[in-house]
Chain A
Amino acid sequence: MESLSNKKKVLEQKPLSFMERMYLPAIAKGMGITISHLFKKEATVRYPEVEREFSTNFRGMHSLKRDENGKERCTACGLCALSCPAEAITMIAAERKPEEKHLYREEKYAATYEINMLRCIFCGLCEEACPKEAIYLDGPIVPADYLRKDFIYGKDKLVEAPLEMKK
Chain B
Amino acid sequence: MDSAFVIEKFILVAVIFGISLVIAMYSTYAERKVAAYLQDRLGPDRAGPFGILQPLADGIKMFMKEEIIPTSSNRFLFIAGPGLALLCACIGTAVIPWGSPVLIAGKTIPLQVSDINVGVLYIFGVVSLGVYGVMIGGWASNNKYSLLSAIRAASQNISYEIAMGLSIIALLLMTNTLSLKEIVGQQHGLNWNVWYQPLGFLIFMVCSFAETNRAPFDLPECETELIGGYHTEYSSMKLGFYLFAEYINMFVSSAVMAALYWGGYNYPGMDYVAAHLGPTWAPLIGTAVFFGKIVMFIFFFMWVRWTIPRFRYDQLMNLGWKGLIPLAIANIIITGVVIAIIEKF
Contact of A42 among B42, B303, B319 (CB under 8 A): B42
Report B295-312 CB contacts with A as 1/0, cut-off 8 Å. Answer: 000000001101110000
Residues of B within 8 A of A38 (CB): 37-38
Q: How far is the CB of B309 from chain A (nearest CB, A)?
A: 9
Q: In the complex the two chains form, is A42's CB within 8 Å of B41's CB?
A: yes
Q: How far is the CB of B115 from chain A (nearest CB, A)?
A: 36
> Whole-angstrom distance between the alpha carbons of A44 and B41 in the complex?
5
Q: Which residue of A lies closest to B202 (CB)?
A: A24
- Judged by DSSP, the binding face of B is loop
Q: Which residue of B lies closest to A41 (CB)?
A: B40
Q: In the complex the two chains form, is A43's CB within 8 Å of B41's CB?
A: yes
Residues of B within 8 A of A43 (CB): 40-41
Which residue of A33, A38, A41 has the most chain B CB atoms within 10 A of its CB atom?
Answer: A38
Q: In the complex the two chains form, is B303's CB within 8 Å of A46's CB?
A: no
Residues of A within 8 A of B319 (CB): 23
The reply on B39 being an interface residue by CB < 8 A is yes
- 8 Å CB interface, A15-31 against B: 23, 27, 30-31
The reply on A40 being an interface residue by CB < 8 A is yes
The reply on B45 being an interface residue by CB < 8 A is yes
Report B26-51 CB contacts with A as 1/0, cut-off 8 Å. Answer: 00000000001111111001000000
The reply on A37 being an interface residue by CB < 8 A is yes
Q: Which residue of A lies closest to B42 (CB)?
A: A44
A46 and B45 in contact (CB under 8 A), knowing A30-B308, A31-B304, A34-B306? yes
> Whole-angstrom distance between the alpha carbons of A46 and B306 in the complex?
23
Interface size class of B (residues with CB under 8 A): 10 to 19
Which residue of A34, A37, A43 has the most chain B CB atoms within 10 A of its CB atom?
Answer: A34
The reply on A35 being an interface residue by CB < 8 A is yes
> Whole-angstrom distance between the alpha carbons of A31 and B37 in the complex?
14
A37 and B38 in contact (CB under 8 A), knowing A31-B303, A31-B304, A31-B307? yes
> Whole-angstrom distance between the alpha carbons of A31 and B40 in the complex?
15
Cross-chain pair count, CB within 8 angstroms: 36
A35 and B303 in contact (CB under 8 A), knowing A42-B37, A42-B40, A46-B45? yes
Contact of B40 among A23, A35, A37 (CB under 8 A): A37
Q: Which residue of B lies closest to A36 (CB)?
A: B38
- 8 Å CB interface, A46-69 against B: 46
Q: Which residue of B lies closest to A48 (CB)?
A: B46
Residues of A within 8 A of B36 (CB): 42, 44
A46 and B39 in contact (CB under 8 A), knowing A27-B307, A27-B308, A34-B306? no
> Whole-angstrom distance between the alpha carbons of A65 and B86 in the complex?
64
> Whole-angstrom distance between the alpha carbons of A31 and B303 in the complex?
7
A37 and B42 in contact (CB under 8 A), knowing A27-B307, A27-B308, A30-B307? no
Q: How far is the CB of A20 from chain B (nearest CB, A)?
A: 13
> Whole-angstrom distance between the alpha carbons of A42 and B45 in the complex?
13
Q: In the complex the two chains form, is A34's CB within 8 Å of B38's CB?
A: yes
Residues of B within 8 A of A42 (CB): 36-37, 40-42
Which residue of A23, A35, A43 has the most chain B CB atoms within 10 A of its CB atom?
Answer: A23
Q: In the complex the two chains form, is A34's CB within 8 Å of B307's CB?
A: yes
Q: In the complex the two chains form, is B42's CB within 8 Å of A46's CB?
A: yes
Known: A30-B308, A34-B307, A42-B36. 8 other contacts (CB 8 A): A31-B303, A34-B306, A35-B38, A35-B303, A42-B42, A43-B41, A44-B36, A44-B40
A-B contact pairs, 29 of them (CB 8 A): A23-B319, A27-B307, A27-B308, A30-B307, A30-B308, A31-B304, A31-B307, A34-B38, A34-B306, A34-B307, A35-B38, A35-B303, A37-B37, A37-B38, A37-B39, A38-B37, A38-B38, A40-B40, A42-B36, A42-B37, A42-B40, A42-B41, A42-B42, A43-B40, A44-B36, A44-B41, A44-B42, A46-B42, A46-B45
The 8 A-B pairs at the shortest CB distance, nearest first, are namely A44-B42, A34-B307, A30-B307, A34-B38, A43-B40, A44-B41, A31-B307, A42-B42
